[in-house]
Structure formats: structure tokens, C-alpha cells
Chains A and B, each alone.
Chain A
Amino acid sequence: METVRLRVNRAERSITLEPRRTLLDALRTDLGLTGAKKACDMGNCGACTVHLEGKAVYACLVLAIDCAGREVTTIEGLENDALQRAFVEADAFQCGFCTPGQIMSLKALFNETPSPNEAQIMRALSGNLCRCGAYRNIVRAARIAARSPSAA
């Protein structure tokens, strides 16, 4: 077992874990942050997307010990974000299981490009699956957020 200090959602967290534990399992199991979802556990679906130093990553493909001292942001770290409001307004989900990952993928784009164009939005979403088929409204939500004055 190893003890790792992580910075998660702007707070210092210290956890003791096996070196093989993924960031996703550390977040969900050790820290109780269950917003990021485990749907494939092999980097195919994007439901576990979080930010590592501001960049979107699949948390199931990152080892927790490799995140020592680095800044991790999960869906729980967003507060009344323009994207979150736009997702509700546009009905950009049905079951909602992929939603945290979709939002975090878009949020990473919005952090760099506050008013992204259509091609940038589609590229940001290309690694996130939605089995309910809410894509059309997910894209619509991204467009709404891109127009929102508080998007940045």
C-alpha cells in the first residue's frame, strides 16, 4: 500500500491505496466521488472523464499514484457552470449515466476555447458514448453554453 497526496477539486486529499488502483477507482471508492462513472474500464466510452491539470483524461486509464501532487477536477468540482445549466435546458441526457463525462469533455474544451465552433465541439465529444442517443441535444447544449456570457 502507498500513501498518495492528491489535489482534488481544489482540496488536498491523502489516500492509502494499492499502486495498481486507477484514478477512477480512487475517486469513486476511496474518496466517494462517484460522479465519474465506470462503464467500460478500458478507455472506450468516456463516462469516467475528469480533468488532470485542466486536460480531459479517461480516469480509468490513469493510475492514481501517477497523479500525486497534480490537480484533479471532477464533475463535483463544477459549480453551476454554464454547461451544466445548458444540459438541463436542452434535455441533453436521458439516463444521465454518461452525462458527467460528456460535461467534463466539453468543459476542458471551454477552458481553452470559451466560444468553440461546431467542429471543435464535435471533436471534444468524439470520445464520449451515449447509448440513449442524446447526442443531438448534447451538441445543442454545447452551443447554448458557447453563447452564454458566463461560459468562460
Chain B
Amino acid sequence: MKRDAELGAVGKPHPRLEGPDKVSGRARYACDLRLPRQLYARVLRCPLPHARLSRIDTSRAEGLRAVHAVLSSANAPEVPWYDTSRLFDRELRFVGEEVAAVAAESEEIAEDALRLIAVDYEPLPVEEKAGKPDVRQRGDIAAGFREAQVVIEETYTTQTALHNCLEPHGCTAVWEGDALTLYESTQGIFAVREEIAAKLGLSEERVRVVTEHMGGGFGSKQIAWKHSVIAALLARQSGRAVQLVLERDAENLAVGNRNATRQHLRLGAKRDGTLTAIEVSARVEQGAYLAGGEASDVTGTYLTLYRCPNVRAEQIQVSTHRGPAAAFRAPGYAEANFALESAMDELARKLGMDPIELRLRNYAEVDQDQRKPYTSVDSLRKCYQQIRGHFQKSAKKYGIGFAAHDWAAGAGHPPAEARVEMANGGARLVIGAQDIGTGTRTALAQIAAEELKLPLEKIIVSIGDTRDAPYGPTSAGSSTLASLAPAVRAAAQAAKAGREGLGKRAPNPKHKSVRTCGAQCAEVEVDSETGEVTVLRIVAAHDCGRIVNPLLVDSQISGGVTQALGFALTEERIVDAASGVVLNANLEEYKLPTAGDVPQITHASLSLPDDEANAAGIKGVGEPPLIPTAAAIANAVFDATGIRVRELPISREKLIR
């Protein structure tokens, strides 16, 4: 790309193209479909943490007028699901697992019908099973600790958090002959098409997935879940369109959560702060099944964030009788960052060192895991400088805390394709991805406008429909824009040259590693009588490469920080150990941040085009702003109170014990 000062559409804070639709109620989500003769479905869920279904009788439900289809293990096809289970399995492994489903003329009648289904369950024992440790290491860990003059050894825990996308998982399924259209709330229209086609034994061409607008993803909507196949089967059975939208409690039981972790950590360092050894053993609660979303990589950041010759990081997956975990914004990294960056703060205090100095002392200029230099060697250093400039220690009696982070997936990757069609003095940009609220639609239109030298309003974007679209990647890993923007550039260049306007994403550089990284500082006030933590201010500096739209990046940063505030302070799934029942699977007792909880958030913006990374110089920023916030807050709480909280969330009782 040209120098940024010479760019036209790119770099401008253009409001979202879909803004007028979203403020008027016109924006259509999967749950908003209203098709002729559409039915509404509900799912009966298992009340026990582990049970065998010994008898099911759906005849009374089937006899209800206005009920048009009923599915259970008695009549559903044997669709394989999870590692060893089925769509409707007779062995049920968590409270909330799918037992039966009904499609009726209204949601109310579908609920009536569920109450008429008779089920006998035979309770089975509830147990935890730890898997084999997955170990990643380099150097000689024992030698590293022999060399150490100072050692920090502590255990940190992070809680199970619930995604609580405001739009629950859901879809509307319609058959035309043997072709299925799914209006789905998903982060990956092509991924869902592939999975659903495989589950139903259809060719992919017979399945169309549409996501016009999407009410929040955060990782739990990047795979196909059972509800989509259930809706498709109910629609086939009834011969009518079927809408199946999960209720809030089902959303919180059956379609993913951020897995709890327990991380035992040892850091060894010399007196000058040089790290000699990093060792972690992490136990990760995966729930009853491996759902197929990415397994949380808790060990990744231990291997890369700091320069250290001797590292041993092990991860043990623990299966339990709880709902399956799924990726949740920066999976693994958010959890690991709390432990590692809290421990680095403890180390800085033990050494009497400035926390930023300690991190500079151990600055990684090469990716030590992949043994390649980074494309943007200095960007994390620049983030540190930005933070230091904003934050000066004050004499007032509150605390400030610092944390750094890296993130492995923001580079983007092939395959990702785009199509540009020139018409009527403008252009149509066709993208087979989806805009999950990050602003993909708008940012890609800006890239096309830049390349075609057209005003933004001359670009019509078609996004979120697998039919007739080139392949688009799943919105995950903070990679959508970095994957697609180079493809859009290539497509626009081809169209401009009078060729067919198709563009493909080139691979990432072979001999260098692309990372995103950043740093945050938190300023807090703690009430020593009530334990209440008030976060006054967060300053965030993140390397996201070239900034295509500063308005959208600001929204990602403050949104990520706000979500992290809940992870740090208030959010925690509570399960009754005896019954396996989730006690707060709702939005009343599961505490999300509200408008009044949001601190001042300063985005210490950095535009660091990374032209070695890809042809648009872009890296992702969706997940990074959530990663370092909890540690920064915990470190600030220690600064204010002298109390080190090593268990998330930092709830009040932990500060007034």
C-alpha cells in the first residue's frame, strides 16, 4: 500500500454501512425471520448431570393439536455428534443436554408439548477424568531454576465464564425439495454449511447458510451445534419452515463456555530481572464433550511472550459432567495472561523493579516457539512506551497495574477469497464471510474503495450468504480482516484491470512470524470496608497493524476492555456440585458489566502498518483488548491494597477476608 497519509478511504472513521438498519429495527437477525406457515421449536433438556435414558414416550406431545413434529432418540436418525455421542444419545452427560425436540405453531404450544413428554432417567455416577498432559518445552528447565536467584511459585485460577451473546444461538430452517436453507446466527457460514451437510448426508451445494446480521459471537458461534440439525430435521418432518432459537438458560448450558483453569506456575529470574525459567502446569475444564471449537491453548503465551531459554508448559484437559466448553474471545490466552502477568507483577515487586523495565529486560524479538523473527519487532516496545506516557504514578491512594500480552492468531491466513464486479459507475463486493458486529462489511468496503478510487457510497457489499459467494473464513482468531483485506485488494486490482474480479489471500511470510501484541494499565480504587473495586481508567495500546477505520478499532478496544471487566470482577458460572445444576444461567444472577460500570477507557492508538505481514499491512484486534485487562486490574488491586488475588473473578469477599 501507499504511505498512509496518501490514502483516501482507508484510515477514515467512516460510520458502519449497516448503521441505519441497526438503529431502525430493520436489520434482520436469524430469529427475526417470519416465513409463511413457519413453526417454532423447543428442546427438552436433561435435568441430571449423568444419566441413561431408560424410557421416553412422546405420544401425548404428538397428539397435541398444533404440534407438527417431534424428535427424540426414538425416531431421530443416528447422527454422530461430539467425540463418541449422537444427536439424541441415550447416555446424557450434562444438565441441559438435548433429549427431545418439538415443532409447533407457537413457542408457547411447543413448551406445552415438552411438558407432555414422559422420560425415565437412570442416574449414573458423576466423575472427573483428567487426560494425558500435553507438554511443550524448550531448553533445560532444571538448569534454568538452578541459575535463578529469585523464584515465584504460585497457583492461579480462572473461572468458567458464559458467553451470553445477547442474540442466543438459533436458526430458521427451510427445505425446498432436497435443498436446505439455514438462516443461522453464526460466525462461520461456510463452516456451518460444511458441518451441517456432513451431518445430514447432503452435498454442500444443497445447503445454503445465510447470516445477514448477527447478534454477538465471541467464539461460541464458530461451529455448528445441535440446534441447527434439529431444526432441519423438524422442518423435513413437518414440511414447514422451522425456527429454533435457544432460551437464555439453554444458551448458558449447552452451547459453550469459557473453560475454568487452574495454573500452577513457577518463574525463575536473576536479580537483574532476566528470566531463566518459566514452568506451568495448567488443568483445563473442558466439560462433558470436546465440542469441536478450538481447544483452549493455555500454554501458548508462556512460550512466546518473554525471551526465556528454558520453558516447560503442560496442559491437562479435564472432562466433567458440565456443558461443553467452546472458544471464548482469546481462548487460552486470556486465562494464561491473568496468571503469567500477575506472576510477572509479583516478580517485579520482589525484585524492586519497575514492571515495564522487567518486561523490557525480557523482550522477545523472535518468536521463540517457531524460531523465527517477528515482522514487527518493535511494536510491543511501542505499546509499552504509549502506556508509560499515559500513566504516571500518582500520590493519591489508589492502585495502578500493568500487563502485557501477545496473541498468536491475529495474522489472518488463506484460504480467503473476494469478488469485485464493476457496474453502473460503482462496484459490488461479494464476500463469503459474515459481519458479526466487528465492522467487517464497512472495513472491506473501504479497502475496495481505496483500490478502485471510488467513493465509499459507490461500493455495494454483499456479505453473509454462501450462495454464489467466494469462500470466506470463519470469524475467529481476530483474523477476518487480515485474511480478507488482501483478497479484496487483489480482486479490486483484477477488476480495475478489466479482468475477472477474483482475489485470493496469499500465504503469510515463510521466514517470519506475525504476532499481535499490546499492553494495558488499570487504575483502580478499592473500598476496604466493602471490597468493592471501582476501575477508574484503563489505558490500552495494541498493535493491530494498519488501522483501516479508527472508529471501528476504538469500538473493538473499548468493547474488549468492557467485556474483560466482567471477566476480571463479576462474571462466574455457579454450579451446584451435588446436582450439577447451573444456578445462574440467566442475565439476572450472572453479572455482566452495565453502562454504569464502564471506566474511562483511553485507547492509546498506534498505527503500525505491517507490510511484511500481508498485502494490506493489517492485523486483527478483535480478541487482544480482552487479554491483559484482568491481570492489569489484579495488579492494580494489589498496588492499592497489598492483597494479591490469584483467583478470578476478583469478587468483593476476596478483598475483605
Inside 8 A of A83's CB, which chain B residues have their CB? 23
Please name 6 pairs of A and B residues whose Cβ atoms are closer than 8 Å in the assembled complex, sorted by A.
Answer: A42-B587, A93-B22, A98-B166, A100-B23, A125-B596, A128-B595
Tell me the smallest distance from the CB of B213 to a CB of chain A, in Å: 6
Q: Does A37 contact B (CB under 8 A)?
A: yes
Inside 8 A of B563's CB, which chain A residues have their CB? 131-133
| Interface set of B (CB-CB < 8 Å, partner A) | 15-16, 18-29, 31-32, 34, 106-108, 163-168, 213-218, 245, 247-248, 436-439, 551-552, 554-556, 558-563, 586-588, 592-596, 598, 601
Cα–Cα, bound, A45→B590 (Å)? 11
Q: Does A115 contact B (CB under 8 A)?
A: no
Tell me the smallest distance from the CB of A142 to a CB of chain B, in Å: 10
Cβ of A96 and Cβ of B598 under 8 Å apart? no
From 6 to 44 in chain A, residues with beta carbon under 8 angstroms from any chain B beta carbon are 18, 20-21, 25, 28-29, 32-42, 44
Tell me the smallest distance from the CB of B413 to a CB of chain A, in Å: 24
Cα–Cα, bound, A134→B65 (Å)? 44
Q: Which residue of B lies closest to A18 (CB)?
A: B108
**Known A35-B24, A39-B587; 10 more pairs at CB < 8 Å:** A25-B106, A35-B26, A39-B215, A45-B166, A75-B25, A125-B596, A133-B560, A134-B559, A135-B562, A137-B555
Cβ of B32 and Cβ of A34 under 8 Å apart? yes
Residues of A contacting B: mostly: loop
Q: Does A126 contact B (CB under 8 A)?
A: yes
Cβ of A96 and Cβ of B27 under 8 Å apart? yes
Cα–Cα, bound, A15→B8 (Å)? 52
Inside 8 A of A84's CB, which chain B residues have their CB? 20, 23-24
Inside 8 A of A78's CB, which chain B residues have their CB? 24
Cα–Cα, bound, A41→B251 (Å)? 13
Inside 8 A of B596's CB, which chain A residues have their CB? 122, 125-126
Cβ of B25 and Cβ of A36 under 8 Å apart? yes
Tell me the smallest distance from the CB of B202 to a CB of chain A, in Å: 29
Q: Does A152 contact B (CB under 8 A)?
A: no
Q: Does A138 contact B (CB under 8 A)?
A: yes
Inside 8 A of A125's CB, which chain B residues have their CB? 594-596
Nearest 9 interchain pairs by C-beta: A35-B25, A133-B562, A95-B437, A97-B215, A96-B22, A88-B19, A133-B559, A94-B437, A44-B587
Cβ of A33 and Cβ of B438 under 8 Å apart? no
From 116 to 137 in chain A, residues with beta carbon under 8 angstroms from any chain B beta carbon are 122, 125-126, 128-137
Q: Which residue of A lies closest to B598 (CB)?
A: A135
Cβ of B15 and Cβ of A32 under 8 Å apart? no
Cα–Cα, bound, A126→B595 (Å)? 6
Inside 8 A of B555's CB, which chain A residues have their CB? 91, 94, 132, 134, 137
Tell me the smallest distance from the CB of B243 to a CB of chain A, in Å: 10
Inside 8 A of A139's CB, which chain B residues have their CB? 595
Q: Which residue of A lies closest to B600 (CB)?
A: A136
Cα–Cα, bound, A132→B626 (Å)? 11
Cβ of B216 and Cβ of A132 under 8 Å apart? yes
Inside 8 A of B32's CB, which chain A residues have their CB? 28, 34
Inside 8 A of A20's CB, which chain B residues have their CB? 108
**A95 with B23: in contact, given A39-B248, A136-B558 (CB under 8 Å)?**
no
Inside 8 A of A36's CB, which chain B residues have their CB? 25
Inside 8 A of A25's CB, which chain B residues have their CB? 106-108
Interface size on A, residues (CB 8 A): 55
Q: Does A146 contact B (CB under 8 A)?
A: no
**A95 with B167: in contact, given A40-B586, A87-B23 (CB under 8 Å)?**
yes
Inside 8 A of A128's CB, which chain B residues have their CB? 595
> In the complex, how many residue pairs between chain A and chain B have their CB atoms under 8 Å apart?
171
Of A29, A33, A99, A122, the contact of B23 (CB 8 Å cutoff): A99
Inside 8 A of A126's CB, which chain B residues have their CB? 594-596
Cβ of A37 and Cβ of B215 under 8 Å apart? yes
Cα–Cα, bound, A138→B448 (Å)? 29
Cα–Cα, bound, A66→B586 (Å)? 26
Cα–Cα, bound, A45→B555 (Å)? 21
**A91 with B551: in contact, given A42-B588, A78-B24, A132-B559 (CB under 8 Å)?**
yes
Cβ of B438 and Cβ of A94 under 8 Å apart? yes
Q: Which residue of B lies closest to A77 (CB)?
A: B25
Cα–Cα, bound, A96→B106 (Å)? 26
Q: Which residue of A lies closest to B565 (CB)?
A: A133
Cα–Cα, bound, A130→B511 (Å)? 42
Of A38, A89, A135, the contact of B31 (CB 8 Å cutoff): A38
Cα–Cα, bound, A20→B16 (Å)? 39
Cβ of A89 and Cβ of B15 under 8 Å apart? yes
Cα–Cα, bound, A47→B248 (Å)? 13
Of A75, A76, A91, the contact of B15 (CB 8 Å cutoff): A91
**A122 with B437: in contact, given A38-B31, A88-B20 (CB under 8 Å)?**
no
Cβ of A95 and Cβ of B166 under 8 Å apart? yes
Inside 8 A of B166's CB, which chain A residues have their CB? 37, 39, 45, 47, 95, 97-98, 129-131
Inside 8 A of A76's CB, which chain B residues have their CB? 24-25
Q: Does A56 contact B (CB under 8 A)?
A: no
Cα–Cα, bound, A21→B551 (Å)? 41
Cβ of B24 and Cβ of A137 under 8 Å apart? no
Cα–Cα, bound, A89→B24 (Å)? 14
Inside 8 A of B595's CB, which chain A residues have their CB? 122, 125-126, 128, 130, 135, 138-139
Tell me the smallest distance from the CB of A62 to a CB of chain B, in Å: 15
Inside 8 A of B593's CB, which chain A residues have their CB? 133, 135
Cβ of B23 and Cβ of A91 under 8 Å apart? no
Tell me the smallest distance from the CB of A41 to a CB of chain B, in Å: 7
Inside 8 A of A96's CB, which chain B residues have their CB? 18, 21-22, 27, 213, 215, 437
Q: Does A72 contact B (CB under 8 A)?
A: no
Q: Does A103 contact B (CB under 8 A)?
A: yes
Cα–Cα, bound, A14→B559 (Å)? 42
Cβ of A44 and Cβ of B586 under 8 Å apart? yes
Tell me the smallest distance from the CB of B185 to a CB of chain A, in Å: 9
Cβ of A133 and Cβ of B164 under 8 Å apart? no
Tell me the smallest distance from the CB of B29 to a CB of chain A, in Å: 7
Tell me the smallest distance from the CB of B242 to a CB of chain A, in Å: 14
Tell me the smallest distance from the CB of B352 to a CB of chain A, in Å: 36
B20, B25, B439: most-surrounded residue (chain A CB, <10 A): B25
Inside 8 A of A133's CB, which chain B residues have their CB? 558-563, 593, 598
Inside 8 A of A132's CB, which chain B residues have their CB? 216, 437, 555, 559, 563
Tell me the smallest distance from the CB of A18 to a CB of chain B, in Å: 6
Tell me the smallest distance from the CB of B402 to a CB of chain A, in Å: 22
**A42 with B598: in contact, given A91-B15, A94-B555 (CB under 8 Å)?**
no
Cα–Cα, bound, A78→B24 (Å)? 7
Q: Which residue of A lies closest to B436 (CB)?
A: A95
Cβ of A97 and Cβ of B29 under 8 Å apart? yes
